[in-house]
A and B are shown apart, each in its own frame.
Chain A
Amino acid sequence: MNCEWITEHICDMLGGLLTPEEHDAVQAHLNVCPECSFFVSELRQDMLLLQGLGDVPVPVDLKLRIAEALAKPKPQKNPWRFFLPRFAPVAAAVLISILSINTIPGYMASREQLTKETQIDGAPRLQMAAPDQRGADPEVEGTGNCTVTDTINAGAKLGAATEELMTMSLAADKTEPSLWVVSSAAGSTVLLLWGAVVYRWYKKV
């Protein structure tokens, strides 16, 4: 038993958590060590003072303030509230896609009539167009986590690609694009551009 041990076991000592042997050893040390004896008595008195602090009078407004806070409607942190009004243009973009699907068949049909003269079956054309579709889709997905400029650039790029695709289809019978490539590319372009606008808006708010 030494002074250090006493310092390290104040909690157990003051809490009466020592074993009888430890207790006796501490007592023996305190009897011969005035520093520790004084120190322990001071700590005991600190504890008594802390215990004596007792209850703090509770302000009467506490319950009132809690009741008022509970009565108030919670501030809604609803992300839909922000995005809902902005869905209208998105819906428009989807509509454009659908419309393009519905309008292009007329154009396609007319082209098909022209091409039927040189080609018997339409199937090879669709197969040829398929790689284009695969090429376009990763680009659309890849822009998901990009910055605004990236998004705009990608959107513009996609727009240019779509245009190119359409010119190509007009220029050469063999590279006529699939219906889905044209319509989905047009729709995605509008969607992406609008996404960029909303994102910028969101950053500003």
Chain B
Amino acid sequence: MLSAYDDGELISKCKQGDTDAFGQLVDKYQQRVYNITFRMTNNHEDALDLAQESFLRVYRALASFKGESAFSTWIFRIASNVCLDKLRQKKRQPHIVLSMDSLMAGEEGDYPIEISAGEASNPEQHLLQGEMRREIRQALNAVSDEHRLVLVLRDIEGYSYEEIADMVGANIGTIKSRLNRARLALREVLTVREPLTSSARLREQKGG
């Protein structure tokens, strides 16, 4: 899976029409791109479409990539824009309810729940963990697209403020205040929806 070439070599190969080289770039970045498209849409169908669209846009725009920012940042910027464009487009068509199916479906669609080691050692905790994760995913889905994007990029994916500023096309100060408002908005959704869950249960779980 891991490519023997670095991004620069792969990019110049792609520019010469080498689709295998592009396949290697896809291998390298598909996980992180898919994380963004899935977290932004909360359903696999849209996430797959958007991830595909992102990579195709990357391929078509490779000639214009001059390396002012890191290639990874550039890819994630394209993926972010693809997501925001699509979400705006969907909002203009009110009869399409985005990710209704995923709200009905279980955790992460049909995929098994991943639990990080040490956090949920018994079935009860496993269930609780799953419930809280579903809750936070739904809350994430309820905040605005711009707020969700910074939450995904910063809190889920862990990119630095500098990287996010580059991806979103805003300065660090703007990103910080947006992230601030996003976290407050998320908290508000969680408080309104399930005042007793999430933090209360997590505390209980951690204490016990």
Tell whether A pairs with B. Answer: yes
Residues of A whose CB lies within 8 Å of any CB of B are 7-12, 14, 39, 41-43, 45-59, 61-63, 65-67, 69-71
| Chain A residues whose C-beta falls within 8 Å of the C-beta of B30 in the assembled complex | 58, 62-63
Binds A, one of B46-54, B63-71, B84-92: B46-54
Q: A45-B198, A63-B23, A69-B52 are in contact. Are A50 and B155 (CB under 8 A)?
A: yes
A-contacting residues, B72-126, CB 8 Å: 108, 111, 114, 116, 119
Contact partner of A70 among B22, B34, B190, B203, CB < 8 A?
B22
Contact partner of A66 among B26, B136, B202, CB < 8 A?
B26
Contact partner of A63 among B27, B108, B179, B180, CB < 8 A?
B27
Interchain CB contact under 8 A, B156 and A51? yes
Q: Quote the shortest CB–CB distance from A11 to chain B (angstroms).
A: 4
| Chain B residues whose C-beta falls within 8 Å of the C-beta of A65 in the assembled complex | 48, 52
Complex alpha-carbon distance, A48 and B180, angstroms: 16
Q: A49-B198, A50-B155, A57-B111 are in contact. Are A9 and B187 (CB under 8 A)?
A: no
Q: Which residue from chain A places its CB closest to the CB of B202 in the assembled complex?
A: A45
The 7 A-B pairs at the shortest CB distance, nearest first, are namely: A50-B155, A11-B180, A56-B38, A42-B199, A45-B199, A58-B34, A49-B136
| Chain A residues whose C-beta falls within 8 Å of the C-beta of B31 in the assembled complex | 55, 58
B 127-140 binary contact with A (CB < 8 Å = 1; else 0):
00000110011001
Q: Quote the shortest CB–CB distance from B133 to chain A (angstroms).
A: 6
Complex alpha-carbon distance, A47 and B44, angstroms: 23
User: At the interface, is chain A mostly helix, strand, loop or mixed?
Assistant: helix
Number of A-B contacts (CB under 8 A): 108
B 9-23 binary contact with A (CB < 8 Å = 1; else 0):
000000000010011
23 chain-A/chain-B pairs, Cβ below 8 angstroms: A8-B180, A9-B180, A10-B184, A11-B183, A39-B187, A45-B198, A45-B202, A45-B203, A46-B183, A46-B187, A49-B132, A50-B151, A51-B155, A51-B156, A52-B133, A53-B39, A53-B136, A56-B47, A57-B108, A67-B23, A69-B56, A70-B22, A71-B19
| Chain A residues whose C-beta falls within 8 Å of the C-beta of B187 in the assembled complex | 39, 42-43, 46
Complex alpha-carbon distance, A58 and B179, angstroms: 27
Interchain CB contact under 8 A, A46 and B156? no
User: At the interface, is chain B mostly helix, strand, loop or mixed?
Assistant: helix
For the complex with contacts A46-B183, A50-B136, 6 further pairs of A-B residues with Cβ separation under 8 Å are A10-B184, A45-B203, A53-B137, A53-B156, A55-B35, A55-B114
Contact partner of A46 among B38, B59, B179, B199, CB < 8 A?
B199
Complex alpha-carbon distance, A45 and B35, angstroms: 21
The reply to whether the CB of B193 lies closer than 8 angstroms to some CB of chain A is no
Complex alpha-carbon distance, A165 and B45, angstroms: 69
| Chain B residues whose C-beta falls within 8 Å of the C-beta of A69 in the assembled complex | 52, 56
Most buried by A among B51, B114, B183, B199: B199
Interchain CB contact under 8 A, A10 and B202? no
Interchain CB contact under 8 A, B19 and A67? yes
| Chain A residues whose C-beta falls within 8 Å of the C-beta of B22 in the assembled complex | 70
Complex alpha-carbon distance, A45 and B111, angstroms: 24
Q: A42-B187, A59-B48, A63-B27 are in contact. Are A52 and B119 (CB under 8 A)?
A: yes
The reply to whether the CB of B165 lies closer than 8 angstroms to some CB of chain A is no
Interchain CB contact under 8 A, B137 and A12? no
Contact partner of A56 among B35, B52, B155, CB < 8 A?
B35
| Chain B residues whose C-beta falls within 8 Å of the C-beta of A55 in the assembled complex | 31, 35, 114
Q: Quote the shortest CB–CB distance from B44 to chain A (angstroms).
A: 6
